[in-house]
Amino acid sequence: MPFTTTVLSITTGSEETVTDLTSRCEDFLARTAQGADGLLNLFVPHATAGLAVLETGAGSDDDLLAALHHLLPADDRWQHRHGSPGHGRDHVLPALVPPHATLPVVGGRLELGTWQSVCLVDTNRDNPVRQVRLSFLS
């Protein structure tokens, strides 16, 4: 099929998280790509979450959250004020960590570098469940 899509439901909980989606992307491609070349598009339909391609497990995910804390402090400077204190920063996050990513698929497999993972970045502690749309275009 030239275009296939599905929606993942990801529970991120009440803490800021970087959630590795790589295995879920690979599972989706194993079912849908069937050895084809194409593009995997990911999209997060939320105003307070984003997607990043980065190394995980060696501290980079924690470093990303620390950098976001430095750039976007959770304090009362934000004009957008509903939700948890500092929640306005969560609405700025997608300008720095976009809610979309498009990645190459070769031979039905995700073409990532050795240390790269596809991750959902969620700093919004008020929304514990996120949706991520995966779409494969061959």
- pLDDT in the model for residue 80: 85
Going across the sheet that includes 49-54, the strands are: 17-20, 117-122, 49-54
Per residue in 106-119, pLDDT (tens digit) is: 999 999 999 999 99
Per residue in 123-135, pLDDT (tens digit) is: 998 999 999 999 9
Locate the domains of the chain by residue range: 3-137
d(CA 122, CA 129) in angstroms, rounded, equals 10
Compute CA distances 25 → 39, 81, 93, whole Å. 12, 35, 23
The amino acid that residue 78 corresponds to is: W
Considering the domain delimited by 3-137, tell me its CATH architecture.
Sandwich (2.60)
Residue 43 — very low, low, confident or very high, per pLDDT cuts 50/70/90?
very high
Q: Which residues of 15-24 are buried (b: 16+ CB within 10 A; e: fewer)?
A: ebbbbbbeeb
Task: Tell me how long the chain is.
Answer: 138
Residue 83 — very low, low, confident or very high, per pLDDT cuts 50/70/90?
confident
- pLDDT in the model for residue 95: 95
By the 10 Å C-beta count (0-12 exposed, 13-18 middle, 19+ buried), 102 is classed as exposed
- pLDDT in the model for residue 102: 98
Q: What's the pTM?
A: 0.94
- pLDDT in the model for residue 85: 82
Residue 65: CB atoms within 10 Å = 17
